[in-house]
Structure 1
């Protein structure tokens, strides 16, 4: 169970004595084998604040993907889990550059720090006094106040909100009411203002008419968030997908681009578009940009003779009608012992299917399972990271009847 920090804990951790204690605790391994021994040592030296010290050190060790220089930050466990990854926060903050900005739900200050780095002036607010105290420590150059996100306390500022998510167990899609504060309440409170709201990628965006633009953002291949942009913060596009790469590069695509895209027979390659492209409904736009076409108009897999640069694509060895028995025979014939299984449009659990294939060879392949029309289809492929478009296309795809 996460440790419930108090204002007294935060005051101690921010003090000179607390900083020294954190440095000492940070030198301990705190591993599974040493944890009890290390915690006992901390309790002997700092009996009143041992739990806060140990929790802070452990949270800092988890925070490398969320903030730069995590060893100077204070967190709660929940705040760290909900915090935006640093590259995503910096990307989003770019639209607020040189403006006066109010972070309505600043929590411990992760987004606030990114906004403060580019804004003309920046203010953060929250209702949780412990998180506010941590935010004052984490963002010393930014004004932080206690305020309800749905009650405006600033004028003329651009606004950002990252509402907490309520428990939505059992639902596949998030609703506006699943957030605290609710998305509709935020939109109503700041009607006509420039507002951006971070929310779950699984939202039904058509149910959010106040959002002028919806941007889906992925980082390192995983969809991290949706951002709802309104009024002057929105662009001419209504849907946008932005892909942030590990090397710091990025690209974006919007529904302002053409979406002419054919449906046809499989080409040399199968391309699984980034999840941000799929969630944003921009698969056809992506296909048009890269000269690809769809296998089926209702399936996100694309195909073509030259894959886009900078993606992991699947070069087709052979394909045909899918049955488990036929796939098992094909993999045995090819001497496959290791298989990656990707599925779209079929009710197949890759983890359940894999042991039933009874693999025994030394080769490694990727298997793409999907449907074309009503026909379940299996593609046996080699996965390739495409550095550029200079691809050898001499090996032709083989269709297995």
Structure 2
């Protein structure tokens, strides 16, 4: 759970003395081997103030891989865990460009920072006074007030929310009725507003029948969130969307596109679509866009003779009926000592299988284990960046 910050801690961290203390402690390495010693040094330097300063230094270092320029930001551990990664926050904020928007669960201000750059006017609110104080530090000059998300304090604004999905002990909440605020209550309160709700990507979309568009967003290969869009924030004619962010590039695909996709045996390449495409149920649409086909209508692996540009695809070397004995013999014959195992549609644990295969040799390969109809198959491949 991390250190439990107080409002007094935040006031100190924002003061000249606090800024100086943070700079002094940030000069310490805090490596695995030096951490205990460095904490002791900080304690001697700062006395009872050492804990919030050390925690802030460590959280800022963690935040560097998630947020843009977090060197002056303030966080709690759980707020940083739920904070939207900066590229994803900028992508979501783009739909609010030029509008008045109210972030009703602004927390420490990660989404508010992105919104402030594009919206006409912004308002942030939250119930937690500590996080509000941190948001005022993180988004200087931004209007932030204490308010319950289920008791609106703004009018005629678009609304965005990111319900808390952890309990007081830090454990994840999986049921939308346990979110804070609960998902259904949030949708009822803002039924007349243009609403966007950030959710975990694994959410069962059936629990949000009020969402006009559901967007799955991945960043650098990892699916980061689902966003539920309503009314004027949704795209006409689109109910599902996948957006893939990678470096400075991005692309999107929706269920408004064609999904004509044949079923055929493996061709020259195997393509494993981005997780956002799979989670959004747009595998066939992706295949149709790129001239690919499915191996099985219920399996997300695709094949084709020309893979899409800019992805990691798998050039097919050999394929056939899968048995562990036959695969082990093939890998030995080919001298494969390093093997990536991808599985979909079969009850196979890659780590357990790899141990049983007793790989030797200097070669490396990827094997795709899946099924076509009821038949288990293997596809031995060479991974390449297209």
TM-score tier after normalising by the smaller chain length: over 0.9
- What is the match of residue 89 of structure 1? 89
> Structure 1: any 5+ residue segments left out of the alignment?
387-401
In the alignment, which residue of structure 2 is the partner of 1:186?
A: 186
Segment of structure 1 superposing worse, 41-50 or 115-124: 41-50
Distance 1:65 1:203 in 2: 25
Q: Distance in 1 between matches of 2:235 and 2:89?
A: 19
> In 1, distance between residues paired with 2:141 and 2:2?
29
Separation in structure 2 between the aligned mates of residue 39 and residue 86 of structure 1, nearest angstrom: 30
> What is residue 225 of structure 2 aligned with on the other side?
225
Q: Which runs of 4+ in 1 moved over 6 A?
A: none
Relative to the length of structure 2, the TM-score reads: 0.97
Alpha-carbon distance change, 57 to 173 in structure 1, aligned in 2, over 3 angstroms: closer
Q: What per-residue deviation string (whole Å, max 9, x for no partner) do you get for residues 101-123 of structure 1?
A: 11010111111101111111111
Summarize deviations over 1:161-216 as a string: whole Å, max 9, x none: 0001146xxxx994421421111110000011000000011111133111000000
SS in 2 for 1:371: strand
Counterpart check, 1:53 vs 2:53: yes
What is residue 255 of structure 1 aligned with on the other side?
255
Match of 2:240 in 1: 239
- TM-score scaled by length of structure 1: 0.93
Deviation of 1:261 (Å): 0.7
Structure 2 unaligned blocks of 5 or more: none
Please, what is the CA RMSD of the aligned residues?
Answer: 1.3
Is the 8 Å Cα contact of residues 165 and 173 (structure 2) preserved in structure 1?
no
Three-state SS of the structure 2 residue aligned to 1:111 is helix
Shift of 1:35: 1.9
Provide the C-alpha distance between the structure 2 equivalents of 1:230 and 1:134, rounded to a whole number of angstroms: 29
The CA deviation string for residues 300-340 of structure 1, in whole angstroms up to 9 with x for no partner, is 00111111111111111000100111100000010100000
CA distance in 2, matches of 1:251, 1:261: 20
Output the CA distance in 1 between the equivalents of 2:117 and 2:65: 18
SS in 2 for 1:251: strand
Aligned to 1:4: 4
Q: Secondary structure at the match of 2:48?
A: coil
In structure 2, relative to structure 1, the CA distance for the partners of 1:125 and 1:308 (3 Å cut) is same
Match of 1:389 in 2: none
Shift of 1:33: 2.0
Equivalent-residue separation in structure 2 for 1:174 and 1:253 (angstroms) = 27
* Cα distance per residue 1:69-108 (max 9 Å; x no partner): 1111000000001111110000000000111111010111
Q: Distance in 1 between matches of 2:200 and 2:35?
A: 35
| Contact 1:105–1:161 under 8 Å retained in 2 | yes
Distance (whole Å) between structure 2 residues aligned to residue 293 and residue 178 of structure 1: 40
Residue 72 (structure 2) pairs with residue 106 (structure 1): no
**In 2, Cα distance between equivalents of 1:305 and 1:150:** 53
The answer to whether the 8 Å contact 2:216/2:277 transfers is yes
